[in-house]
Amino acid sequence: MSKTLTSRAGLTYSALLAIGMIIVIGSALGFQYIGGYIPCALCLEQRQPYYYGIPVAIAAALTAALGLPSWITRALLAIAGIMMVVGGGIGVYHAGVEWHFWAGPTTCSTSASSITQNAGDLLNELSTIKGPSCTEAALRVLGLSMAGWNVIASVILATIAFMGVKKAG
């Protein structure tokens, strides 16, 4: 395969991966800030691979667009793919906690109460209010919680990343 075709494949897969990650994390943030769904500790943990993976996927797209050696693009895609596998693993763990297959971390044992309307109490409440319990899904769509949907998204995005590793070579 010519260098132009491998560079184009690397750019395509990297851009698709970055856009997919942005859509997933944007959806989670939308549910939080627009929909009012307060994330639990495991929900926040599931976002970490996206926060770190998006810049890596963008860097992979840039290396391909600039025509840098394909091994750099492939390495960055592999790293982003591994991050999505980790994200999927966290999602499986969280879904298992929601279905009561195993216990969740102790940081998920309390639920949030409403935030005070008194500005003087706000700082005190910020240090005492905990997120909602990880054991109850705030929302289920087609029988899957957001953690379950994250597993599906993570598997799809990891597949895109690893296909990019193969095609960009």
Interval 117-149: pLDDT, tens: 565 665 565 555 556 777 776 767 787 788 888
* Residue type, position 3, single letter: K
Kindly report the length of the chain: 169
Interval 26-57: pLDDT, tens: 998 988 888 888 888 888 899 999 999 999 99
CA 123 to CA 143: how far, in whole Å? 38
**Is 0.85 topped by the overall pTM?**
no
Q: Hunting for tokens 């592999």 — which residue is that? A: 78
CA 137 to CA 145: how far, in whole Å? 6
| Residue 136: strand, helix, or coil | coil
CA 71 to CA 27: how far, in whole Å? 32
